[in-house]
Amino acid sequence: MIDQNKIRQGICLLLEGIGEDITREGLIDTPDRIARMYTELFSGMEEDAGEHLSRTFHVDNSEMVLEKDIAFHSVCEHHMLPFFGKVHIAYIPNGKVVGLSKLARTVEVFARRLQLQEQLTGQSADALMGHMKPQGVLVMVKAEHMCMTMRGIKKPGSQTVTLARRGVFETDPLLEERFFRLLKQN
C-alpha cells in the first residue's frame, strides 16, 4: 500500500537535503503534489496483471497476434528517473485470445512500478504465458532512459532494446523472423 504521508516526509527531507527552503512559496505544496503523483505512477504495485488477462475469447486458428507500438513510461529503480518507449507483443493463441486493450493494460501494470526494462519485458511475457497459456509469446521493449540522458554519460536519444521469448518463439526461429517482418510493416 502506498503511504502518502511517508512520501511527503521523504520529499521534505530531500528538498532540505539539496539546500531548499521547504517553506518558500513555490515548494509549500510540492510534497503533497509528489505524493499524489507517486500514487498514480506506482499504482501497479497493487495491481495483478492476471485481472486483465482473465477474460478470453475462443478462436479456432493459431495464427500470430501482434500488438505493436504500445506506448509506456516507467521509473527506473536504480536512479528513480523515467524511462519510456514502445512495447511490441506477439503471441500464438492456444484456442483463446484476449481483448487487444488487455495487452496494453498488462504492460501498464508492470510499468507502474519501480522497474528495470529487462524485468518489465520478462514480467509481461511471463504474465501472458501464465494467464493465457498460449503456445508462445514474444515481447520486445524499446526505451529511452533519462538516467542515460540527464546524468552520467548524457546521451539523449540512445535506446535500449530488450526481448523476451517464451514457448514456441524460443524454438522456432521462423516465428521470430515473422515477428520482426511484421514490425517493419506500416
Active site amino acids: 76-79, 117, 145, 147
Q: Which three cell numbers stand for residue 123?
A: 514480467
Buried b / exposed e over 41-79, threshold 16 CB at 10 Å, is bbebeebebeebbeebeeeeeeebbbbeebebebbbeee
Strand partners, 97: 57
The answer to whether 83 touches 125, Cβ cutoff 8 Å, is no
* Residue 11 neighbours by CB distance under 10 Å: 19
The answer to whether 141 touches 117, Cβ cutoff 8 Å, is yes
